[in-house]
Chains A and B, each alone.
Chain A
Amino acid sequence: MTSRATFGDLSRLAASQLDLAVSPPAPVSKRNLAKARAVQLHDVIRSLNDVVDVMSRYCADITSAFTGYPARQLRTLGGWPRAAAQAQEAAEHAAGFLRAAQAASPRRSRPRISRAASGLDAAVMSLTAGRDLLHTHYAIGRDGARAARSEWAPVITSAPITRALLLELGQWARTAARHGAGLALSGPPILRGTEEQRRMLNAACQWLWILDANVLDAHRHDPVSAADAELLHAIPVNALAPRHIPADDETVTRLCQGTTDTAERVRHGARIVVPQAAWSPALTAESFRQTAASATVISHNCATVLSSLAVVAQQRGVPDLSRDLLASVRAAAAARTTWLAAANAWSRITTDARAAISPAAAEAADLALWTGRIAYADPGWTPTDSPFSAHRPPQDLAPDPGDLANVMAAVHQACETLTSLAAADHAQIGTAARAGRLLVPTRSLPDTFDVPHPFAPAPRDRIGALLATYHDARTASAQATATVGHIAADVRAPSRILTTARAAVRAGSGPDGHPTPAPALPNVQTSPVHEPPGPVERILQDLGVTSTEVLHHAAVIDQAGEQLILDAAQAAEPRHPAIGTASFSRSTGTAEIINHLLASGNPRAAALLRPSPPPIRRRLGHPAKDERPQPNHVTARQTPEHEAEP
């Protein structure tokens, strides 16, 4: 739909960077291996801390929808809202462990000297840029609150998109945890003095897995749809293409892109003037007339193009598509009728301000030109110069199947813009009427009106009639948009995300909205995740065992062992509700089992084997007064088996 950078560009880049995040240390002599690993550990902890820091910011953005909810109440919510709150908590705990691990590092003041974590650093840049991209759609008001700056703003805060974003966060967390834990549990040689760092790194990774498990649990119960994930990735940076008008030698492809760019500009222009309707000098009858006339021409052009596409579909032997296109021709024609009524209603009414033409009105005329260039054969078509220009031959309009999708996208964008224009102008007219800005020439009133001025306040019946025409234009334009949107989805036109975006906004904001049921995301793991092998299976692999049967047997043993641990933890929970996995993760062997359980995405494991929170508000080794030890609970800092790893 757009040539601008999208969130998906940055998200995919971040995912690939995270995937290859940790490089092995540069080859060194065996004598220096432990030292090289310590350097790598230091750098990975620092970079992973940056990754988690960005993820925490994403979580804070998502949970900002709950502003005003007490944190305790958030935890009592169900489904996605709870997952959002838990994700934020998990990210904060992971960050806490990583900060503590950094503070414990004897190298904390050194610059990064290895390239071991360069992938993580690159991912930090991509994740930050992705978040910045989403934030371009908002401005911070004087009261500190976020204010929408684009039509994408309500999409970003909609329930389906916050859920899709949470799911993405879970995937990032899972990948990051895999790398971090792999390093934390790596075998000897180990430099003395790094045990504490490795323990904390592992605890941070366990919290990242918990983040993922909670999100996956919400996703299993209320799946994110593939369309919503696609919509999240399609969110563009908030930067409109510059205004331009078509040259006389544009190709259909370029005309379609120009139509899309201009349609977005018109929607933006229409949206931003609504709050100014009570006072803006650009609110003039001239602007409304030009907009309504242009909208009539745009819908006329759309009907012409759709009619030609119906011929194309028929010629290609796709009668169903041809039939749908003919239905869309009727819908566009109905929109044209209502817009014409709105344009003509303005012959009986005017405004207090005159002469100025609003940017939206000026660009609506541009859109009429762009759509006309697609519809008509004359490459220099204008509404004024070419009244008898022939329609563009269908075979020229879409010579290849891909062209049909592009043309449908342009028409879809134009129809969407008509709907936005009708809504915006209806709102403006209502505000202008309340502000007494709608007038009529006194001479147009019956002689019974004695008004000693050239203009008089518009009678209510004229205002009512005018508003009714815009209501009709909005309804008919929305119907045309819906009809065209269905076809756009069928032919996989790039504009199909417009339909998803509107549905997302209708679903409400924040993770607790109610999205319309849609096909679930097919490529996201909804069953328990088993990325790395369990400890028994891994040992067999390390021993060079390749027999599928033997490895399967090992995996079954791993699963049985984990199930036993979970059952035991559940049975112990009423007595020891605050069991932390730190107590189970004192050695590499037990930590590996716990990690494997948490990495499985099993919500039961995440609930029962939650690690203890990180050490807070204290210097390492000096517990804060408010940090009360829990029964049978060993914090990450406490190391009763100090010689054990990690």
Chain B
Amino acid sequence: MDTITAARARLEYATGLPAILDAAYDAFEDMLPAIEAQQDPGSAAFTAFVMSGASAANGRDAIAAAPSLPAVTHHVVTTARTPVTVTAAQAAAALTGISRVLVSRLNAAAGLSADVGDRAACASAASHAAAVCSLLEGAREQP
């Protein structure tokens, strides 16, 4: 979960619309392999992780359409799978946490831009982050 933790920190400390969008795009990108790594049919949270993958990709695409997103990122996106030692509950907790930050920062960022495209992108991405949060909320702690 190091990549998720790092992405969350970067997102929390990003300032200005382009930086927030840049960090949000990369956050969604980092979430995708972390989610895929937990898609174990033997896990009770299998369904939640499958559905959340779609929402994370939708969020990433929404940000990609934002006019103020910088064309180039200098952040190295991790495509390697998260180590299997992370439990589904731990992954869900980390992903829920970063999704909450995404919702918060993107909703705030929407107010920073006069561009309707940016506002729509932020609102759409925030809704997808909220969906991830909702999907994985129940998987944070296995009974």
Chain B residues closer than 8 Å to A389, beta-carbon distance: 44
Complex alpha-carbon distance, A515 and B123, angstroms: 56
Closest A residue by C-beta to B63: A441
Cβ of A17 under 8 Å from chain B? no
B124 close to A355 (CB less than 8 A): yes
Instruction: Provide the bound-state CA to CA distance between A347 and B57, in Å.
Output: 5
The reply to whether A383 and B54 form a contact with Cβ atoms under 8 Å apart is: no
Whether the pair A290, B54 counts as a contact (CB closer than 8 A) is yes
B109 within 8 A of A: no
Cβ-defined partner of B138 (8 Å) among A289, A300, A343, A387: A387
Return the chain A residue nearest B128 by Cβ: A286
A443 to B23 CA separation, bound complex (whole angstroms): 13
Question: Does A383 contact B48, Cβ atoms closer than 8 Å?
Answer: yes
Complex Cα spacing A355 to B124, Å = 8
Once A354-B62, A441-B61, A443-B64 are accepted as A-B contacts, the answer to whether A384 and B36 lie under 8 Å apart by CB is: no
Complex interface: stretch among B3-11, B12-20, B65-73, B96-104 = B65-73
Q: Does A386 contact B (CB under 8 A)?
A: yes
List the A side residues contacting B50 at CB < 8 Å: 293, 296-297, 300, 340, 343
- Check: A517 CB closer than 8 A to any chain B CB: no
CB pair A384–B64 under 8 Å, yes or no, is no
B78 interface residue per 8 A CB criterion: no
Question: Nearest residue in A to B55 (C-beta to C-beta)?
Answer: A289
> Shortest distance in angstroms between A91's beta carbon and chain B's nearest beta carbon?
56
> Which of B29, B36, B41, B134 has the most C-beta atoms of chain A within 10 angstroms of its own C-beta?
B41
Residue A454 interfacial (CB < 8 Å): yes
Check: B90 CB closer than 8 A to any chain A CB: no
Contact with B along A273-300 (1 / 0, CB 8 A): 0000000000001100110110011001
The digit string for B38-65, where 1 denotes a CB below 8 A from any CB of A, is 0101001111101101101110111011
Chain B residues with Cβ under 8 A from A347's Cβ? 32, 36, 53, 56-57, 60
| Interface set, chain A 419-449, CB cutoff 8 A to B | 441-444, 447
B54: A residues at CB distance < 8 A: 286, 289-290, 292-293, 343, 346
CA of A333 to CA of B40, assembled, Å: 12
Q: Is the CB of A300 within 8 A of B58?
A: no
Q: Is A344 an interface residue (CB 8 A)?
A: yes
**Min CB distance, A101 to chain B, in Å?**
69
In this assembly, does B135 line the interface, its C-beta being within 8 Å of a C-beta of chain A? yes
* With contact pairs A297-B47, A300-B47, A344-B36 given, residues A388 and B57 touching in the complex (Cβ less than 8 Å): no
- Taking CB atoms, residues of chain A closer than 8 Å to B44 are 387-389
**Majority DSSP secondary structure for residues of B touching A:** helix
Is A385's beta carbon under 8 Å from chain B?
Answer: yes
A350 contacts chain B at the CB level, 8 A cutoff: yes
Q: Please determine whether B51 and A285 come into contact, CB atoms closer than 8 angstroms.
A: no
The reply to whether A354 and B61 form a contact with Cβ atoms under 8 Å apart is yes
Complex alpha-carbon distance, A452 and B67, angstroms: 12
Judging by beta carbons under 8 Å apart, are B45 and A441 in contact? no
Contact B53 A293 (CB under 8 A): yes
Provide the residues of chain A in CB contact with B36, threshold 8 Å. 344, 347
A-side contacts of B41, CB under 8 Å = 300, 303, 333, 336
Whether A441 contacts B64 by the Cβ 8 Å rule is: yes
State whether the Cβ of A455 lies closer than 8 Å to any Cβ in chain B: yes
Interface centre among B39, B46, B51, B69 (most CB of A within 10 A): B51
Chain A residues in 8 Å Cβ range of B135? 383-384
Q: Which of A286, A336, A344, A455 contacts B64 (CB 8 A)?
A: A455
B64 touches A387 (CB 8 A): no
Question: A121-158 vs B: 1/0 string, CB under 8 Å?
Answer: 00000000000000000000000000000000000000
**A 344-369 contacts with B by CB, 8 A:** 344, 346-347, 350, 354-355
Contact for B65 among A344, A386, A388, A454, CB less than 8 A: A454
The answer to whether A388 and B142 touch across the interface, beta carbons within 8 angstroms, is yes
Chain B residues whose C-beta falls within 8 Å of the C-beta of A372 in the assembled complex: 47
Q: Which of A285, A344, A350, A383 contacts B47 (CB 8 A)?
A: A383
The CA of A350 and the CA of B58, in the complex, are separated in Å by 9
Interface residues of A in 29-71 (CB under 8 A from B): none
Q: Give the residues in chain B near A297, CB-CB below 8 Å.
A: 47, 50-51
Complex Cα spacing A297 to B46, Å = 8
| Chain B residues whose C-beta falls within 8 Å of the C-beta of A333 in the assembled complex | 41
Nearest chain A CB to B10 CB, angstrom units: 15
Q: How far is the CB of B54 from chain A (nearest CB, A)?
A: 4
**Please, which residues of chain B bring their CB within 8 A of the CB of A447?**
72
Inside 8 A of A340's CB, which chain B residues have their CB? 39, 50
For B64, list chain A residues within 8 Å (CB).
350, 441-443, 454-455
Cβ contacts B66-103/A at 8 Å (1 or 0 each): 11010111000000000000000000000000000000
Question: B23 → chain A, closest Cβ, in Å?
Answer: 13
- Residue of B25, B61, B69, B134 with most partner-chain A CB within 10 A: B61
With A297-B47, A383-B48, A384-B51 in contact, do A289 and B57 touch (Cβ < 8 Å)? yes
Is the beta-carbon distance between A443 and B58 smaller than 8 angstroms? no
Given contacts A333-B41, A443-B71, A454-B64, 5 further A-B contacts (CB under 8 A): A292-B54, A293-B50, A336-B41, A384-B138, A447-B72
| Chain B interface residues toward A at CB < 8 A | 25, 29, 32, 36, 39, 41, 44-48, 50-51, 53-54, 56-58, 60-62, 64-67, 69, 71-73, 124, 134-135, 138-139, 142-143
List 16 A–B pairs whose Cβ atoms lie within 8 Å, in order of A's numbering.
A289-B54, A290-B54, A293-B51, A297-B50, A300-B50, A344-B36, A344-B53, A346-B57, A354-B65, A383-B135, A384-B134, A384-B135, A387-B45, A443-B73, A454-B64, A455-B65
3 A-B pairs with least C-beta separation:
A289-B54, A441-B64, A347-B57
